Amino acid sequence: MTEQKRHRILMVSDFFYPNFGGVENHIYYLSQCLLKLGHKVIVMTHAYGNRSGVRYMTGGLKVYYIPWKPFLMQNTLPTFFGTLPILRTILIRENISLVHGHQAFSTLCHEALMHARTMGYKVVFTDHSLYGFADVGSIHMNKVLQFTLADVSQAICVSHTSKENTVLRSGLAPEKVFVIPNAVDTAMFKPASERLSRNEIVIVVISRLVYRKGADLLVEVIPEVCCLYPNVRFIIGGDGPKRVRLEEMREKHNIQDRVDMLGAVPHAQVRSVLISGHIFLNSSLTEAFCIAILEAASCGLLTVSTRVGGVPEVLPDDMIMLAEPMPSDMINAVGKAIRMLPMIDPQVMHLRMKSLYSWYDVAKRTELVYDHALRCTDENLLQRLPRYLSCGAWAGKLFCLIMIINFLLWHLLNLLKPLEGIEEVPDFVYPHHQHEEPPFDLNQR
Amino acid sequence: MESISKDEISIPSQPKWRKVAYGGMQPGYSDNYTDESFLEGMVMNANVVKRDMLKVMQDSVSISQYICIVALVVCVWTYTLGSTITETTLLLLDSCLLGLGFVVLILTAKRLSLHLLFHYLLNIAFFISGLYILAPIYCTLTKSISSDSIWALTVLLLLVHLFLHDYSGSTIRPPGALTNPTLTSNISLNASIVASVLIASRLPSRLHVFAVMLFSLQIFLFAPLVAYCIKKYSFGLHLWFSSGLMLVALGLVSTLHRLLFGLLLGLLVFVTFVCPYWLIRIQEYKFEINGPWDEAKLCFDVTE
C-alpha cells in the first residue's frame, strides 16, 4: 500500500467499549480491519468511569477516552464548543486526514464533526438507527441530524431502509449516502460441534427486555407457542423493565419449567446461550439492521423475526421467517420454523453466513467511501454557510451563527495555542500486521 | 419488499439490483446506488382526517360555552365588588347553583347510587366548612397590594386558565373515570383558584369573601363536570344550554361595558366560525411521512 492511499482516520462516537452494543462492535471491528488494510485508525470517545486518557487495544488501536463525563444514556452534555480544543489537539497530534462519526444520538459525534468541518477536514458519518417523524423527540433529533449532515462529505447507512430514512430526515442527496451493512465475527459465533437433538426444540430470545424490542409481543406469543407445541422450551436472555411482565406471564400460565429467564447475558457468553437453541426469536418493533440476527444465524440457528425496518434485508429468505408484529402471525411463523427445522444444518448455515458477511468486506467498502470523501473539493466557510442556511427559516440562521462562532473560536485557539506548539505523535507500527497472518481471524475471505 | 423473482432481465451481465444487505457489494452497483424503488414504501398523510365544517363548529361550542361561564363569573365578581349584589343574594345564588348542579348530575347519571350521593354531600360539607374557616385569612391576604396589581394579575391568571383548560373533558373526573387529568388542566384549575382568592381578598367582610369564594370555586371546579355530563347525556341539550348561556353572558356583559361586550362577541364569533374554517384550511399543509422505518404499533393493549 502506498503512503498516499493510506488514510489516517479518527473514529468518533460516545459509544465505545467498555459499553456494549451494535455501534461499539461496529466501530471496533471496522477499526481492526482498517488497521489490517494498512490505515491508521484512532478512536475517540468520552471517559467511562475512571477509564480516561489513552488506551491501546488489540492490533495497536489507539483509543482516546477524553475526560468528559456522560450525563444521560452514555451521552456527553452538549456544549457545542466545549470539545473544540481537545479535538483540535488530537487531530493535529495524530495528523488525521479524515473524521468518521458514528450514531445519530451521540452528541460527541455531532460536535466532533462540526469542529472537523470548521477546521477543513473531510468527514464521514454513519447512521445506525431509524427514527420516526411524528413525536417531539424525533423532530428535534432530525433537526440536529440535518445540521450535521448539511455539510458532511459522505454518509453511510447500515441498511437500505435506513438509507431511505436518513435521506428523508436530513434532506441529503441519495447518491451521497452509501449502504454498508454491519457484519458478524463468524469466527466468534460458531455452531456447536454436535448437533442438538430435536426431541425438544429450544427457542432462544436474547434482547433487552424493553418496549421497543417487543417484549410485550413475547408476553403474548410465548404462552400460545408453549400450548401449541408441547416439546418447545424457551430461553430468554436479557434484562430490562419488561422482565417483570414476562415473569408474570410465566407464572400466570404455569410454564416456569419451560421458560428459562437468564437475566442479562454478557456478550462473551452470547454464543454459549445461542448454541443451546434451535430457533432464534427476534420481536423488535423497530430495527435498522439487527446484529443479533446475524450472530444467531452464524451459530446455525433458524431465525424468526418481525418484519420491521431493515430486518427483511438482513438474511436470505430461506434463513429467516418473517412475520408481521402481531401475536397470531408470529405464532404461525414459529410453527413454520419448527416444521422447517429438519432441513436446517447449522454447519451449512454457518458456512453460508461466512460467505455473506465479513468485516473485512465492510472495511473494504468503507475504504471506498473514504476515497470518495477525500476527493470532495475543499470549501471555505462562505461556501459552506448557504447549505446551513437552507436547513430552515429559524434553524438555518441559528446553525450559521453556531458555525461562525465556531470558526472564530478556532482562529482564537490558533492564536492561543499555535500549530507549531503541538507535537505530532510518531506512528505506532504494529509489528506484524501487514504481511503475516493476523493474530486472530477477522473472517478474511 | 423483495424483488428477486419473476422477470429475467435482458442483459445477463447486469444482474438486477436487490434490496438486500447481505452478500457484499452487489456486482455492477456501487454502494451509493439509488434504485428506482427508492422510497417506494413511503406513505404520505396516511392518517389525515377529512373534517366537516359543521362538525368542527359544533365541537367548538364547548369552548364558547366555557368562555361564557368565565365571563359570567367575572360579571358576578365585578357586581360584588361594586356592591350591586349583597352577600345574602350571593349566598342564595350559591345554594341555587349547588342544588341545580346536583339535580343535573342526578338526572344525567346512568344509574343512581345513594352511596355516591352521600359521598358527594359529605365532601361538600367538608369543603364549605373549610372555606368558612379560611375566609378571614383570605380577607386580609392582599391588604398591602394595590387593587390595580390584583386586577392585572387576575386577568392574567384567567387568561392562563382559559388557555390551558381541558375543553374536551373535565378536570374533576366523574367517579370511575379511567384516565387521570393532565398536567396542563391542573395548572389551569389552580390558576383559576388563585384568581378567585385574589378577587375575594379585595372584599370588605368575611361573609362576602366566603360567598364569593364559594361561588367561584363551585363554578371553576364543578361547572366543567356538569357541562360534561350534559354533553354526554344529550348533544342537543348541550347546544341549547350553551346558546342560552351565551345569550345570558352577552346580556350581562353588555351592562358592564360596551367594549367588553364587543370583545366577548368578537371572541365567540372567532371561536365558533373563524377557528373551524382556519383549521380546515390549514389541513392542506399537513405533511406526515410514514414508511417501513416506523416503529411498529402493537395491535393489542399493554396493561402494566
Same domain assignment for residues A134 and A247: no
Same domain assignment for residues A297 and A379: no
> Could you read off the pLDDT of B12-50 as tens digits, one per residue?
567 888 888 888 888 888 888 888 888 888 888 877 778
Between residues 385 and 444 of chain A, which touch chain B (CB distance below 8 Å)?
Answer: none
The answer to whether residue A196 sits within a structural domain is no
Could you tell me which chain A residue has the CA closest to the CA of B299? A326
Query: What pLDDT shows up at residue B294?
Result: 85
Same domain assignment for residues A221 and A314: yes
Same domain assignment for residues A66 and A28: yes
CATH code: domain of residue A294: 3.40.50.2000
Mean pLDDT by 10 residues, chain A (445 residues): 72 90 90 91 92 90 91 82 93 93 90 93 91 82 87 91 90 90 91 86 92 91 93 92 93 93 90 93 91 92 93 91 93 93 91 92 93 88 88 89 94 92 82 49 47
**Percentages (nearest 5) of helix, strand, coil residues in chain B:** 65, 0, 35
| Residue A309 CB burial class (10 angstroms; 0-12, 13-18, ≥19) | buried
Enter the DSSP assignment of B273: I
Residues of the domain holding B251:
60-277
Distances (CA, A) of A13 to A7, A111, A351: 19, 10, 33
The answer to whether residue B301 sits within a structural domain is no
pLDDT band of residue B177 (cuts 50, 70, 90) is: low
Count of domains observed in chain B: 1
Measured between CB atoms, which of A133, A178, A288 is closest to B289?
A: A133
Is residue B2's pLDDT more than 80? no
The answer to whether residue B140 sits within a structural domain is yes
Q: What angle do CA A228, A233, A237 make, to 5 degrees?
A: 130
Count of domains observed in chain A: 2
CA distance A181 to A310: 10
Same domain assignment for residues A56 and A171: yes
CA distance A118 to A6: 23
Point out the domain boundary residue: A321, A336, A356.
A356
Q: Does B44 touch chain A (CB under 8 A)?
A: no
Instruction: Identify the residue whose cell numbers are 459552506.
Output: A384
Measured between CB atoms, which of B25, B39, B289 is closest to A365?
A: B25
The answer to whether residue B25 sits within a structural domain is no
Could you tell me which chain A residue has the CA closest to the CA of B40? A164
Query: What pLDDT shows up at residue A104?
Result: 86
The answer to whether residue A82 sits within a structural domain is yes
B28 min Cα distance to partner chain A (Å): 14
Measured between CB atoms, which of A165, A181, A368 is closest to B21?
A: A181
Same domain assignment for residues A352 and A363: no
Same domain assignment for residues A104 and A220: no
Three-state secondary-structure class, residue B222:
helix
Query: What pLDDT shows up at residue B4?
Result: 42
Residue B125 or residue A73, greater confidence = B125
- A213 contacts A285 by C-beta, under 8 angstroms: yes
Q: Does B25 touch chain A (CB under 8 A)?
A: yes
pLDDT band of residue B168 (cuts 50, 70, 90) is: confident
**Interval B168-197 mean pLDDT:** 79
pLDDT band of residue B178 (cuts 50, 70, 90) is: low
The answer to whether residue A1 sits within a structural domain is no
> Could you read off the pLDDT of A391-419 as tens digits, one per residue?
888 889 999 999 999 999 999 999 999 98
Residues of the domain holding A167:
8-183+359-421
- B212 contacts B90 by C-beta, under 8 angstroms: yes
The A40-46 sheet, strands edge to edge: A53-57, A61-66, A40-46, A8-12, A98-102, A122-127, A154-157, A177-179
Instruction: Give percent of chain B with pLDDT exceeding 70.
Output: 91
Q: Does A308 touch chain B (CB under 8 A)?
A: yes
The answer to whether residue A2 sits within a structural domain is no
The answer to whether residue A193 sits within a structural domain is no
Query: What pLDDT shows up at residue B51?
Result: 82
Query: What pLDDT shows up at residue A437?
Result: 44
pLDDT band of residue B10 (cuts 50, 70, 90) is: very low
Measured between CB atoms, which of A130, A216, A217 is closest to B293?
A: A130
Same domain assignment for residues A329 and A369: no
Same domain assignment for residues A297 and A366: no
Same domain assignment for residues A169 and A220: no
Is residue B7's pLDDT more than 50? no
Do the Cβ atoms of A356 and B24 come within 8 Å? yes
The answer to whether residue A432 sits within a structural domain is no
Query: What pLDDT shows up at residue B176?
Result: 58
Same domain assignment for residues A341 and A386: no
Same domain assignment for residues A336 and A374: no
Query: What pLDDT shows up at residue B13?
Result: 65
